[in-house]
Amino acid sequence: MTWQADGNKKITRRTFVMGGVQLLLAFTLFGRMFYLQVLEADKYQTLADKNRISLKLLPPPRGAILDRNGIPFAMNRKIFRAMIVAEETGGKLRKTLQNFGKLVPLQEEDYERILKEIKRKKSFVPVRLKDDLSFDEMAAIQLNIPDLAGVSIENGLMRVYPQKEFAAHPVGYVSFVTEQDLEQENLLSKMPDIRIGRTGIEQSYQDFLYGETGNKKMEINAVGREIRELEKTDPIPGKDLILTLDSRLQKAGYEALKNESGSAVLIDVQTGEVKMMVSTPSFDPNIFNEPVDTKTWSRLNTSDRHPLLNKAISGLYSPGSVFKIVVALAGLEAGVITEKTKIDCEGRLFVGEHPFHCWKRSGHGPLNLKQALQHSCDIYFYEVARQTGVDKIIEVAERLGFGHKTGIDLFGEKEGLIPSRAWKEGRFGDAWRLGDTMNLGIGQGFLLATPLQMALMMAHVANGGKKLTPVLSMDARKEPEKLQISSRHLRIIREGLTAVVNKPGGTAYHARIDVDGQKMAGKTASTQIRRISLAEREKGLKKQSELPWKDRDHAFFVAYAPLEHPKYAISVAVEHGGGGGAISAPIAGIIMQRALELDKEDREKSK
């Protein structure tokens, strides 16, 4: 037994040491538990929630865009779309896709996109096969559902534009979320099906039309599969937006202008409401619901007639003779001329060595202001501009709405350009010369304006001194302000403009409306694109129609009607149209008359 006695003591001692060590370890574990479960519990609680809760965003239905009478420009159509869940195909994804392709034709790109999306997403996430199934396709799918494991049909909304190209520019369009959008706001990546307003009203009233995103808190497991719904906030649908546009006028305007590259704007001279805004050539905004194929996209983008551009607000032109209205007002205000001042037009005028020509080579003879406007005599306005001076002219031009944005509720509006002494020195390092003033007198040279600015100027003249802000949304209408222009001077101008259209010899005489209460007054302009060389002038000017399209003059016409109590102002701009009187004035006449006719109809209907 001796061999055991000492060993027993030792083993007992050592066991107590070991027991002590184990107690120490146990305390360490308790300490660690305390640290994780008490001190850091909040942090881990948050992390656990982040693990399990996935926020699913619910896009609201987009508000409709209606015309002033409630006719929809943009609305949502219920559609059926085919979806596929990869894991439910029982491993026969390709076979299922093939079967589906037999019923609903798919393009090569569609297959690529579908397979790419399936690969990128988890196998239980539905992937879109095709939007907007027709009834026949729906029926075919329902019939063949046994061969289409994993395919399902779900409801969706699609943006449709029933007016198609009639109102494409002011209304705009929506399109898919792009990579750039995702960079700005990555919440969008959680709603791949939403569309964003890209141009026009769809863009400028994006937030209003969009509504508010709802969300659903889903409990998900480790691989992201949804287990149950925890909480839901319904989306708030976007509100409907009523525009000042009249869909009937949009159609009329488009029909009148569709063969040209140009624009037409009609505004209410009392309120600034834009009743019609057309830009041609136009496009069908519905095509942007799907990703646009590259061919169509490049055709729309590279055409020299710029179908995507809203020329009414983004087209910049020399206003030409339209600007004579401004020069006349400046002359009157400066006291350089009166209603009765006569200036003799001899066909040309020399400034030093340099000759300035009237468009009528033989000259108009002595003219007063009204006659000068009626015939659009260049010499008269050269002379007025020379005497009035550039500073006064640009000051009046600014007051009438040139050189700055009109404030219309659209993105992409251009400011235009009023040249000044300072501007020219900054831009060219060259002093302002008398020749520049002369050119300004007939609206040529550096001067640039949008058709909307011209329409607005016309409205200011027509309403006798109310400063307007043109608007497209009924809710954006603003109270007119006072325009600091003598109403007496405006009346003189109006008389001149009445003569332009209604007096034989007026530049727009043949475009007159010979109906009482619908008579129109206006001003034509044809602005040259190229400098006319001396040699050409001596050979005799070619007819516009003989020139290549790109070299022809821009044709403008601004007008208001009726004469007594003006209601509307219109501006028609036709790029390379040739003559303002010949091309633009008749188009304006058609639209103006239609607008007044419609008013009459509506009045009678409401009686």
Partner 1 sequence: MSLFLDRNCYFKDYELSFKDRLLNLSWSYFVLITIVVGIGILLLYSVAGGSMEPWAIKQTYRFGLGCCVFFFIALTDLRLWMKYAYVLYGISLLLLIAVEIRGEIGMGAQRWLDLGFMQLQPSELMKITLVLALARYFHGSDEEDVKRTRHLIIPALMMGVPVGLILIQPDLGTASMLVFVTLAIFFLVGVQWWKFAVLFVLGLISIPIGWQFLHDYQKERVLTFLNPERDPLGTGYHILQSKITLGSGGVFGKGFLEGTQSHLNFIPEKHTDFIFTVLSEEFGMIGAGVLLLLYMIIIFYGFQMALKSCNFFGKILALGLTVNFSLYVFINTAMVMGLLPVVGVPLPLVSYGGSAMMVLMAGFGFIECVHVNEEMVIGRLGSSDS
The set of catalytic residues is 321
CA atoms of 392 and 54, how far apart (whole Å): 65
Q: Please say whether the dihedral angle defined by the alpha carbons of residues 418, 421, 423 and 424, taken in this order, is positive or negative.
A: positive
Preceding omega of 562 cis (within 30 degrees of 0):
yes
Distance CA(300)–CA(480), nearest Å, equals 38
CB of residue 101 to partner 1, shortest distance in Å: 36
* Count of positions on this chain that bind partner 1 (CB under 8 A): 43
Peptide bond just before 281 cis, omega within 30 deg: yes
Q: Contact between 226 and partner 1 (CB under 8 A)? A: no
Stretch that binds partner 1, among 10-18, 271-279, 572-580, 581-589 (CB under 8 A): 10-18
Torsional sign, CA 172, 177, 179, 181: positive
Of 8 and 487, CB closest to partner 1: 8
Binds partner 1 (CB under 8 A): choice among 40, 136, 154, 229? 40
- Does residue 367 contact residue 378 with C-beta atoms inside 8 Å? no
Q: Does 26 bind partner 1 (CB under 8 A)?
A: yes
Nearer Cβ to partner 1 (53/236): 53
R_g of the chain computed on alpha carbons:
36
| One of 155, 222, 534, 606 touching partner 1 (CB under 8 A) | 222
Query: Pick from 145, 182, 227, 541: which binds partner 1 (CB under 8 A)?
Result: 227
Question: Minimum Å distance from CB 188 to partner 1?
Answer: 24
Stretch that binds partner 1, among 45-53, 177-185, 249-257, 445-453 (CB under 8 A): 45-53
What DSSP designation does 121 have?
S
Q: Does 178 bind partner 1 (CB under 8 A)?
A: no
- What are the structure tokens assigned to 378, written together? 């260049």
Q: Is 306 left (phi over 0), alpha (psi -120 to 50) or beta?
A: left
| 14 contacts partner 1 (rule: CB under 8 A) | yes
C-alpha 524/C-alpha 370 separation (Å) is 14
Q: How far is the CB of 11 from partner 1 (least distance, A)?
A: 6
Residue 546 is a binding residue for partner 1 (CB under 8 A): no
- Stretch binding partner 1 (CB under 8 A), from 216-224, 290-298, 350-358, 489-497: 216-224
By CB under 8 A, residue 52 contacts partner 1: yes
Give the DSSP letter of residue 231. Answer: E
139 binds partner 1 (CB under 8 A): no
Nearest approach, Cβ of 470 to partner 1 (angstroms)? Answer: 56
In contact, 400 and 324? CB cutoff 8 Å: no
**What are the angstrom distances between the C-alpha of 136 and each of 80, 106, 132, 287, 402?**
12, 15, 11, 22, 56
- Which DSSP symbol is given to 147? G
Q: How far apart are CA 446 and CA 417, in angstroms?
A: 7
Q: How far is the CB of 56 from partner 1 (least distance, A)?
A: 16
CB of 232 to partner 1, least distance (A): 19
Q: Where are the alpha helices (DSSP H) in 414-475?
A: 421-428, 434-441, 451-462
Footprint (CB under 8 A) of partner 1, residues 268-327: none
Nearer to partner 1, 22 or 296 (CB): 22
Give the residues lining the site for partner 1 (CB under 8 A). Answer: 1-4, 6-8, 10-12, 14-15, 18-19, 22-23, 25-26, 28-30, 32-34, 36-38, 40-41, 43-45, 47-49, 51-52, 219-223, 227
